Amino acid sequence: MIIKKANSQAISFACKNFHYAKCVPSVSHGYNIYNAENEWCGVICFGVGANNNIAKTFGYLSGEVLELERVALNGKQEYTSQAVAMALKQLHKDNPLVKIVVSYSDHRQHHIGTIYQATNWIYLGKTITSDTQYFYKGKWTHERTINDKPKKIRDKLKATLPKRENSNKFKYIFVFDKKLRKKYLKLAQPYPKDKDLT
């Protein structure tokens, strides 16, 4: 496989067409993935994610912790785990200040994080969410998007839009520094299995 930096057009197309969320996050580092036949397979993207304070939750400065936001691939790649490993390696080369990458496997999508388990991420457990998603403009949208609207519009949307509780997620981290990795390995939990989806 080959990895190259992705532009905004490639990121937008892959996220909307190859990923179940069908939306484009705010990306700081995006990478195109090509297979051995030089076919474009989609993108892998990193950024701050939905939580602007993601670094603070680990006690680090902004930019030292990023989220693996999208693995938006079309299936033509040889191995998804290899593509993720290549993207992490390139991210570390492009931005050596990043200490930790966080990712979440969505319980609702029946994802346990097989890719992360295959690439030796550290599993920190299940995140239990209590917030709400609203079906807004053709897609499920986080409550924060609705809360950003003026009060009159916000109240009307919340009263009329279909809604659902946000799903629980399995939380994984990839730690670049070996010494730092040892610290978080002490917090590691056993990898979840398919039975943990029930």
Domain ranges of the chain: 2-128+168-193, 130-166
Q: What is the pLDDT of residues 63-100, one digit of tens each?
A: 899 999 999 999 899 899 999 999 999 999 999 999 99
| Gyration radius (Cα) of the chain, Å | 17
pTM of the model: 0.76
What pLDDT sits at residue 129? Answer: 59
CATH superfamily of the 2-128+168-193 domain: Gcn5-related N-acetyltransferase (GNAT) (3.40.630.30)
Torsion of CA 71, 74, 75, 77, to 10 degrees: -70
pLDDT over 60 (residue 23): yes
Which residues, in sequence order, are bridge partners of residue 34?
A: 2, 40
**Lowest-pLDDT choice from 16-20, 35-39, 63-67:** 16-20
Q: Which residues contact 125 (CB under 8 A, 6 or more apart)?
A: 170, 171, 189
In this prediction, residue 166 has a pLDDT band, given cuts at 50, 70 and 90, of low
Do the beta carbons of residue 47 and residue 26 sit within 8 Å? yes
Burial class (CB in 10 A: 0-12, 13-18, 19+), 174: buried
Q: What distance in Å separates the CA atoms of residue 19 and residue 43, rounded to the nearest whole number?
A: 10
In the structure encoding, which two tokens stand for residue 154, read together? 């916000």
Residue 167 has pLDDT above 70, yes or no: no
